[in-house]
Structures are given as C-alpha cells and as structure tokens.
Amino acid sequence: MRTSRRIASTLLAVALAAVLSACGGAPQSALDPAGPFAERPDDLFQLVFWIAVVVFVLVQGLIIYAVVKFRQKPGDTALPVQTHGNTKLEIFWTVIPAVILAGIAVPTVRMVFDLDAEPDNALQVDVIGHRWWFEYRYPAQPEFGIDEEFATANEMIIPAATPVRLRMTSEESGSAEGAVIHSFWVPSLAGKQDLVPGKTTTMNIEANEPGRYLGQCAEYCGLSHANMRARVVALEDAGFDDWVALQQSPADDPEPGTLAAEGKALLFETKAGGNACVSCHAIRGAEQEVDGQLLQAAGQVGPDLTHLMSRREFAGAIFDLYERGPDGEFLLDQPNEDLLAQWLAQPVEMKPMQPEAGWGMPNLGLTDEEVEAITAYLITLD
C-alpha cells in the first residue's frame, strides 16, 4: 500500500513538472521555428518523430500482446514450444528499418546541403566569439545602406523576412591564438554552428516576422559559458535602415562641464592594472586630449560601446540595460543605471571572468564618484 502510494505521488510530481515546464512558454525552442532555416529541419523532425511513433506503438503493441496472450495460465506446467531463430522474421525486421533509415537519409542529406547554400541577396554579418560574448561585424554592403563596416555586441539586428548569411569565427583580442570554440545557437531561427579559431564557418538565418529571438553559446567555452547569450532582433525594413544609419554615426559628445563629460574623460585615464577603459573598448568619434596628445577610443578587446544604449542588454546579454515594465518589455526611457554602475565597480563579482588571463573585464578600482560619472556618460551613448 505504502509503495503504491509512493509510486503514485512520484508519477504525480513528474506529471506536474512536465505540465509546469510547458507553462512558461518556450522562447528558445527549435520546436517553435520562426524562419525558413528553422522550419525545414523542424518539418524533417516532425516526419521522423511520427515514423518513430508508429514504430513504437507497433513494437510495444506486439510485446504487450505477446505478454498477455502467452502468459502462464493456471494449470500450465509444461514447457512452452522452444524456438531458435526464424529466418523469415529476422530478414523482415532487418529490411524494414533499413528501408526507413535510407528513406529518411535522402531528405536529410539534401537538406544539409540546401541549408548551407548561400542565399541570394543575403545580408552578411560576421560573428566573432570571444570569452564570453558575441561580436557582430557588419561589413560594407551598400545595398543594405552600409557604407562602412561597424561593430556591435550581444544583439544582432537584422531586417525581417530577409536571409542573413553569417560568417563566423572565434578570436581572442584580434587573434585566433588562445581562442576557444564557441557555438552560435538561436534555436527558433536555425540550427547550431561552431565558431572555430582560425577557421570561418557559415550559417544562414532568417526571421519571418519582426521580433526578439533568444539564443546562447552552445559549446562549452570555460568559466562563463552559461553567461554567453545571443540575441537576434528582427526589425521591419524601415527600422533596420534607421538602425544602420545610427550605427554608422559617431557617438554623441557630452556637453562640456557636465558629469557625462567628466565620465568620458575618465575612460581615457589609466587605472588599476595599467589599463584605461579605452584600451579595450571602442567608442567611434570619442577623443580626448591627454598630456597634449589627442587619443581615440579605439580599443579592440571588449565590446564596441559607440551606441551601447541602442542595445537592450549588456555583459554577454545577461543584464538588462533598461528597466522592465510589467509585461517584461524594456522601458527605453529608464536606463538601468544602478546595474551599469554595479558592473563598473565589481565586474568579476557580477559575472565570473578571468581578467588576469585576458578573458573578461577587470576591476579598474574605480571610486564611487568615478563610477557615477562614467555611468552618466555611458547612458548618453544611444
């Protein structure tokens, strides 16, 4: 009695867990495709799944039938008829699965090549994996309004209903040396593809509708692998054109004498460990006179911050740059200054990183006043 009750409660718990896990929606599911490069593999999956269901029901049905029909009945004492192999049956159950597998192989292999073929009129985006964030470079493509290459991080912006060709690799501070393998995976838009140091891999993505598609690094790449998220935001054509125009423009310069201007100057100051913010980060158009020399913010190690606030998340897309409304929507008039300030003060405490090895943001030992000024500047970078 007690055992059966325990079994019943376990089954109930399992059923409850299954129901609850289905409740939260599935923002990151390959079973919820949102574009052609995810729909086709999903169609194939559906086909294979239903073939497997038929096989499962048939095999299990036969087993249950045999168990019930040929079980020992009261009074049965004689040994049942003993058989040793049945050539006809064995050929039958070898040939059938072979035919099914060969049948599935044809559309599978064809699709592997189809999905990798470069689409016509595709937007090209170069994806570079770093420890632990994704960099997106948009090379010059006049047909998409891009006259000069620019870079962004974490969030890839694409036009909806347009194929996008990704060329991907992995780098550490501009070189393949010391880099590790990452994997770019936005399940509702495409399959997974590795980013391999010293090699360029390709993948196509496309979103049918405007929207925000979630993904993450899918290849273990060290300490903050789980904190290396990917976002793809598909916009209407007009919205994409505006975004491209914004990204190509230089950063706004703060009014002299403001806290933001003070923050900007601080980015060029050498801090703890002999680094300045601009040794790692680029802010196109930002320059500062230091000791009679005009310096540019042109670091190439960390994310490009030129239009930081045009993004929604930072630090590998694990923290919100804006406060959120009741439905989880970003409130674009409320920058998340506290979180940004906390990040500047204690980066390694907020996201596990190894800056001493060159992976991630070091603690520059900023004072509270410095953090406040730099935050004031950063939130002007829209």
Instruction: Give residues in contact with ligand CUA (CB under 6 A).
Output: 129, 132, 182, 217, 219-221, 225, 228
Distance CA 359, CA 122 (A): 33
Indicate the DSSP class of residue 145. Answer: T
Tell me how far, at minimum, the Cβ of 358 lies from ligand CUA, in Å.
Answer: 15
Tell me how far, at minimum, the Cβ of 215 lies from ligand CUA, in Å.
Answer: 11
Tell me how far, at minimum, the Cβ of 219 lies from ligand CUA, in Å.
Answer: 5
First to last CA, the chain: 66
Question: Which residue, 185, 230, 190, is CA-closest to 212?
Answer: 230
Tell me how far, at minimum, the Cβ of 214 lies from ligand CUA, in Å.
Answer: 15
Shorter beta-carbon distance to ligand CUA: residue 210 or 222: 222
Tell me how far, at minimum, the Cβ of 230 lies from ligand CUA, in Å.
Answer: 9
State the pairing for strand pair 155-159/229-235.
Answer: parallel
Shorter beta-carbon distance to ligand CUA: residue 180 or 260: 180
Dihedral sign for Cα 26, 224, 304, 118, please.
negative
Tell me how far, at minimum, the Cβ of 303 lies from ligand CUA, in Å.
Answer: 14
Shorter beta-carbon distance to ligand CUA: residue 155 or 370: 155
Q: Tokens for 19?
A: 């129901």
Tell me how far, at minimum, the Cβ of 322 lies from ligand CUA, in Å.
Answer: 25
Tell me how far, at minimum, the Cβ of 305 lies from ligand CUA, in Å.
Answer: 21
Distance CA 203, CA 37 (A): 9
Question: Which residue, 247, 248, 308, is CA-closest to 277?
Answer: 308
Distance CA 179, CA 185 (A): 19
Distance CA 297, CA 288 (A): 8
Question: Which residue, 305, 299, 338, 347, is CA-closest to 320?
Answer: 338
Shorter beta-carbon distance to ligand CUA: residue 225 or 281: 225
**Angle between the 337-345 and 368-378 helix axes, to the nearest 10 degrees?**
130
Shorter beta-carbon distance to ligand CUA: residue 154 or 288: 154
Shorter beta-carbon distance to ligand CUA: residue 134 or 243: 134
Distance CA 287, CA 377 (A): 13
Helix (H) or strand (E) run with residue 375 in it = helix 368-378
State the pairing for strand pair 150-153/192-195.
Answer: unpaired
Tell me how far, at minimum, the Cβ of 180 lies from ligand CUA, in Å.
Answer: 7
Tell me how far, at minimum, the Cβ of 190 lies from ligand CUA, in Å.
Answer: 17
Shorter beta-carbon distance to ligand CUA: residue 132 or 343: 132
Distance CA 10, CA 379 (A): 51
Inter-residue contact 230 to 190 (CB < 8 Å): no
Question: Which residue, 299, 378, 295, 288, is CA-closest to 341?
Answer: 378
Shorter beta-carbon distance to ligand CUA: residue 221 or 339: 221
DSSP 188-220: TT--EEEE-BT--EEEEE--SSSEEEEEEE-S-
Shorter beta-carbon distance to ligand CUA: residue 171 or 219: 219
Shorter beta-carbon distance to ligand CUA: residue 34 or 179: 179
